[in-house]
Amino acid sequence: MPNPIEDLKKRKDGLDVLADIYRYAREGYESIDPDDFNLFKWYGLYEQKPKGGGHFMLRIKVHGGHYTSAQLREVGLLANQYARGFGDITTRQAFQLHWLRIEDMPDIFSRLERVGLTTVGACGDIMRNVTNCPVAGCDRHEIFDAQPDVLRVSDHFLGNREYSNLPRKYKVSISACAVNCTFPQINCVAFVGVPHGPEGVAEEGYNIYIGGGLSTAPHFAKPVNIFATRDQVLDYAVAITEIYRDHGGRDRRTRARLKFLMDDWGPEKFREEIAARVPFEPYPASGHPLRDAHHDHLGIHPQKQEGKCYIGVTVKIGRITGDQMLGAADIAERYGSGRLANTISQNFIVFDIPEDRVEAAASELRVLGFDIGETTVKSDCVVCTGKEFCNLAVTETKGLMSEVISYLEQNVTWDRRIRVHMTGCPNNCGQQVISDIGLQGASTKIEGREVECYDFHVGGGLGEDASFVRKIARRIAAEDVKLGVANIVRAYQQTRSDGESFRDWTRRYSDEELAQMIGVVDVKVKYGAQAGS
Ligand code: HEM
Ligand code: SF4
C-alpha cells in the first residue's frame, strides 16, 4: 500500500530540511514547500492550529529531563520574545513553545544551541527525547543514577543519519527510579534499572522491555528477558533501533510503531534478533518486579547529598509563563546549584538547596505562582494540548482541566494520589488510558449543534499489574466533567479500605455501578431530559 510519508522520506531525509528552514525564514511562510512541513518535525517544528495560519509549535528536547538555570532562562526569554509569554512542559520532559513564526527560527535555534539545548529529533520518525527520573543522582531511594547512560545514548543517536528514517516515532526511557516514575511500560523501548543482574551477576543494570505505546491501539511494553549491564546499554539501544529501522512496518502509518513488530514477532523472537546483533551473549533478566509510579517526586525532600534538599514544584496544566521560567532559574541559582529537571507529569524540580534555606526557596517559588506539595490536585492532573493548538483535537482541554482543578481544590480533600488525565482525541497524548480517571474528548450533535463532551474511564495503572482504563460512561458534557470527577473521588474516599488504591477500589465495582457513582449522565440524555421537562 503506498505510504506518502515513506515516499517523502526516501526523497529527502528529515535532517536535510534544516537549510530549507533557514531559507524559508528569509523568504517567508508563503514560500514553504508543503512537503517540508512534515519534515520540519525532525527539528521539533510542528504546524500549529489552524493549518495555514503561519504559526508553529517548537518542541525543545531536554535529555532525561535534566537542565540548568541558564537553559531555563533562555527558554523563558524566548517564550517572552516570540511565544506570547508562555510555554508548556510535556509528558516526555521537554518544553514546548507556541505562536512561533518561521522568521523567528534562526535566532531561536542559535540561542538554544548557545546554551546547549537542541530540537533535533524532538518530533518526526526518529528517537525522541529520552526520558529519565527527574531526581536521578539526588534521590535517596534511587537504584542508581541513570543520567550518564541517558546522555551516552542521546548523544549517539542525536542527528545520526543511520537512524533518522525510522518507520515512525520512537520513544525510549532509561531510568533507575525506585518507583518507575517515567512510566517505562508505555515506551517503545524501556531500560528499567535494577540493583543487580540474574544470579551470579552482581553489577547494576537494566531489564529491557520493548513494544509499549499508547495512541489508539495502546500496548504495554513486554519484557524480552534481557539484563543489560550499564556498559552494554548503548549496544542494546543500537541493536534494537536497527531492528526497528530494518523490520518495522512501513506500509501503513497506523501499524508502523515498534509495538506492532512486537505483536508480530513476540518477545522470544525479539530476543533472538537482538542477541544476533550485539557483540556478547545476553544475560537473562533479573527477577525484579516493575513498580507502579505512585508518586512523582513532588514536594520537599532530603537528597542523598548530606544537608541538601530538592523541591518538586507543581505547574498547573503543565503551562508555565516566560516570567515564571526566569524567576525559577533565578531561584535555582540563588538557593541551589542551578540544576533543575522536568517530570513526566509536567512539573519540575529544583535541586541542591541547603536544608536551612529550603523553606525560604519554597516561599519564593510560591510567590511566583507555583504550588508545592506531595499530593495536590494540580500535580495529579495531566492534560494534552487540545483544540487550542492541535490540528487533531476534537475538544478544548487545557482550559477545561483548569476549571476541573479549581473545582476539585475547593470541593474535595485530595489526600492520596489519584491521576486524572485528559486528552482531546483518541491519540492519547495526555495518557488517559493509563490513568486512574481518564477523560477522552469527543463530540456529538444536539439539535444540529456540535457539543463537546468526554468519555469517562477509570482503573488504569502501571507496574506488574498494569491495566488500561475501562470506559464507564460516554459523552459527559464538558461542563459536567468536574462534578463527575469529584463525585467518584468522594465515593472512593468514603468506601475505600486502609491503603486501598483508587485502581484497586474500582475493581470492586461493575461499570454500571461506577457510572452511577459519577452522578452525571450522557449529554444527549441530559439535554433530551431538559427539553422534555
Ligand atoms: C500539535 C499537537 C500534537 C499533535 C498533532 C500530536 C499528535 C499525536 C499523535 C498522532 C499521536 C499518536 C501517534 C501514534 O502513536 O501513532 C500522539 C501521541 C502522543 N503524543 Fe502527541 N501530538 C501533539 C501534541 C502533543 C503534546 C503537546 C504532547 C505532550 C504534552 C504530546 C505527547 C504525546 C504522547 C505522550 C503520546 C503518546 C505516545 C505513545 O507513547 O504512544 N503530544 N500525538
Ligand atoms: S491527544 Fe489528540 S488533541 Fe490532544 S494533543 Fe494529542 S493529538 Fe492533539
| Ligand 2 contact, 384 CB (< 6 A) | yes
CB 251 within 8 A of CB 170: no
In testing the pocket of ligand 1, which one of 429, 434, 462, 468 has its CB within 8 Å of the most ligand atoms? 429
Q: What is the mean pLDDT of residues 45-54?
A: 92
Q: Is the pLDDT of residue 321 over 50?
A: yes
Percent of the residues in the chain that have a pLDDT greater than 70, as a whole number: 99
Q: Ligand 2 centroid to 65 CA: how many Å?
A: 21
| Ligand 1 contact, 213 CB (< 6 A) | yes
Residue with cell 518530533: 123
| Nearest atom in ligand 2 to 391's CA | 8
pLDDT digits (tens, 9 = 90+) for 152-203: 999 999 999 999 999 999 999 999 999 999 999 999 999 999 999 999 999 9
Q: Ligand 1 centroid to 20 CA: how many Å?
A: 25
| Ligand 2 contact, 429 CB (< 6 A) | yes
* C-alpha to C-alpha distance for 223 and 377, rounded to whole angstroms: 33
Strands 381-383, 420-423: pairing is parallel
Q: What are phi and psi of 402, to 5 degrees?
A: -60, -45
| Ligand 1 contact, 188 CB (< 6 A) | no
Q: List beta partners, residue 299.
A: 312
The complex scores an ipTM of 0.84
CB 175 within 8 A of CB 184: yes
pLDDT digits (tens, 9 = 90+) for 61-102: 999 999 999 999 999 999 999 999 999 999 999 999 999 999
In testing the pocket of ligand 1, which one of 262, 384, 435 has its CB within 8 Å of the most ligand atoms? 384
| Ligand 1 contact, 257 CB (< 6 A) | yes
Q: Ligand 2 centroid to 230 CA: how many Å?
A: 35
Q: Ligand 2 centroid to 396 CA: how many Å?
A: 10
Minimum CA distance residue for ligand 1 atom 38: 214
* C-alpha to C-alpha distance for 533 and 528, rounded to whole angstroms: 9
pLDDT digits (tens, 9 = 90+) for 409-455: 999 999 888 999 999 999 999 999 999 999 999 999 998 899 999 99
Domains of the chain: 4-114 (3.90.480.20), 147-176+184-277 (3.30.413.10), 299-374 (3.30.70.3340), 379-532 (3.30.413.10)
